[in-house]
Amino acid sequence: MSMAGEFWLIVMLFVLVGLFVFGIILNHFLPLFLKHGLVPKGSFGYPLLGETLSFLKSHPSNSIGSFLQEHCSRYGKVFTSHLFFSPTVVSCDQELNYFILQNEDKLFQCSYPKPIHGILGKVSMLVAVSETHKKLRNVALSLVNTTKSKPEFLNDVERIATQVLNSWQNKEQVIFCDEARRFAFNVIVKQVLGLTPNEPRATQILQDFRTFMKGLISLPLFIPGTPYARAVQARNRISSTVKAIIEERRRRNVDGGDDENSSSNRSDFLEILLCVDTLSEDEKVSFVLDSLLGGYETTFLLMAMVVYFLGQSNLAMEQLKIEHESIRKMKDKDDHYLNWEDYKKMVFTQHVINEALRSGNIVKFVHRKALKDVKFRDYVIPSGWKVLPIFSAVHLDPSIHANAFQFNPWRWLDEDQTCKKFTPFGGGSRCCPGSELGKVEVAFFLHHLIQNYRWRVEDGEQPIAFPYVEFRRGLTLNISRCSE
Ligand code: HEM
């Protein structure tokens, strides 16, 4: 090629690169220019990535983190940003959060990042919208309602709690997250699939489940060997295992089965799901996965939060112990197991659980998008933008909760737990259907823990929002048995 030809080729290349960069910048900032003056104030950060990395930067989950702190003090409680590859309105405002949750499918809609759909599947309740969501949710609500107070479920919870605690007998130290995971997983696989922990299928599901969870919080690269790709494969394996269990159960029910395994003796989700004719086979499998996912990770974290915060308050521990001892004393000698009425009597326990949910913020925020231009106060949330209601910001707002950074279960004596300022389980038509199951599990575990053990949290342990909460060292507890 001649010198002139090379020169023009280089010029063309520069022009093309320039146009490309200009296109990205325009795409990135155009929404702000178009709606200028109406959208909340804020900053967009870098092209494409925006401010995602600073937003996701880890911080103790009982704080709001530097990103929210800086942005709220610069722009106010509602601000614009660019997160997860989309222009976004971030809300740390209790009124707006409530408005978003109450207007699901009307003005806003659940909108988790696409890679999460890749792992959970299209018909997962967590990502489904409109009619599919409604149909799945109705089944979930009726299952939870029939399960939560059933003696079979409550007795299983207690049995599994005492199994875990019995294994501590000769120990001075435990990694509590491992113990809580074991408890929550054993409860949920028993309740959903009727499996006991030593069955090989339960072990297989647990293994696949861990791979699945790692992928949910990884970079979404579908390249063989990456955590994301492994999670998609793990999900497929869990699906096959669940399908095989469903098939087996169907055959057994047709054949009549032995006494112990006959359908009349079973009260797990699967048995009820088999009779639901509004769900397809794939929806039933997905439903089982949602229940495992929803019921495992969050419940074990709630247990960890409760134990962590109680470790900082001898007074709360004492009051909790008195409550549980008096419930035990009121029961008949041969009436071993706790029941739903006992759970309702655990009033201080409920305060402790609420306070651990408020302080620990297991779910920091949820993903939504605006379905149309939405006017709220004097600004507009443009159609198609991402909207993130941040629950932790409201839970830790000192103008809403007095001494917000202090763990104080007694505040719930006066505070209304069903109101706008407390949303650990979300709200509106996507509010967590499993909240009561999770809470009763934690309360029954605490019943045995508090009467048998004292604990001290090892220095340096702290719940970290990443944004999924974790205790990096697994929450090490130094334990000692209570003297009789
Ligand atoms: C104990 C602690 C728990 C916490 C903090 C928690 C939190 C949440 C939150 C915040 C949501 C709303 C998500 C959104 O709006 O996008 C949710 C939804 C959900 N949770 Fe829970 N959850 C807990 C326990 C459970 C349990 C035990 C189960 C099942 C047995 C469960 C199953 C679900 C399901 C299926 C959904 C989706 C509901 C829907 O989209 O309609 N959760 N949970």
The DSSP secondary structure of 30-96, one letter per residue, reads HHHHHTTTTSPPB---BTTTBTHHHHH--EETTS-HHHHHHHHHHH-SEEEEEETTEEEEEE--HHH
What is the DSSP annotation of 328-372? HHHS-TT--S--HHHHHH-HHHHHHHHHHHHHH-SS-B--EEESS
Distance 333 CA to ligand 1 centre (A): 37
Give the pLDDT band of residue 442 (cuts 50, 70, 90). Answer: very high
Annotated binding site: 432
Annotated binding site for heme: 432
pLDDT in tens, 363-395: 999 999 999 999 999 899 999 999 999 999 999
Q: Which of 208, 85, 152, 190 is nearest to 339 (CA)?
A: 152
**With a 6 A CB cut-off, is 110 part of the ligand 1 pocket?**
yes
Strand partners, 454: 480
Mean of all residue pLDDT scores within the chain? 88
pLDDT of residue 263: 47
Helix, strand, coil % in the chain, rounded to nearest 5: 55, 10, 35
pLDDT in tens, 300-354: 999 999 999 999 999 999 999 999 999 999 887 777 899 999 999 999 999 999 9
What is the DSSP-derived secondary structure letter of residue 313?
A: -
Distance 354 CA to ligand 1 centre (A): 15
**With a 6 A CB cut-off, is 427 part of the ligand 1 pocket?**
no
**With a 6 A CB cut-off, is 294 part of the ligand 1 pocket?**
yes
Amino acid at 217: I
Would you say 354 and 422 are in contact if contact means Cβ atoms under 8 Å apart? Answer: yes
Distance 362 CA to ligand 1 centre (A): 11
Distance 292 CA to ligand 1 centre (A): 11
Average the pLDDT over 270-276 and give the result.
Answer: 85
Distance 6 CA to ligand 1 centre (A): 61
pLDDT of residue 20: 67
Ligand 1 mutation target, pool 98, 298, 392, most atoms within 8 A of CB: 298
Q: Supply the residue whose CA is at minimum distance from atom 8 of ligand 1.
A: 425
Which pair of structure tokens corresponds to residue 45?
Answer: 């950060």
Pairing of strands 374-376, 59-60: unpaired
Q: Supply the residue whose CA is at minimum distance from atom 12 of ligand 1.
A: 426
Report the side by side order of strands in the sheet with 368-370: 78-83, 86-91, 386-389, 368-370, 108-110
Q: Which atom of ligand 1 is nearest to the CA of 362?
A: 5
Distance 68 CA to ligand 1 centre (A): 24
pLDDT in tens, 21-58: 665 555 555 555 555 458 999 999 888 889 999 999 99
**With a 6 A CB cut-off, is 424 part of the ligand 1 pocket?**
yes
pLDDT in tens, 49-59: 899 999 999 99
Average the pLDDT over 182-202 and give the result.
Answer: 90
What whole-number distance in Å separates Cα of residue 205 and Cα of residue 238?
6
Q: Which atom of ligand 1 is nearest to the CA of 430?
A: 41
What whole-number distance in Å separates Cα of residue 118 and Cα of residue 95?
33
What whole-number distance in Å separates Cα of residue 207 and Cα of residue 245?
17
What is the DSSP-derived secondary structure letter of residue 481?
A: E
Name the more confident of 331 and 403.
403
Q: Which of 409, 476, 484 is nearest to 451 (CA)?
A: 484
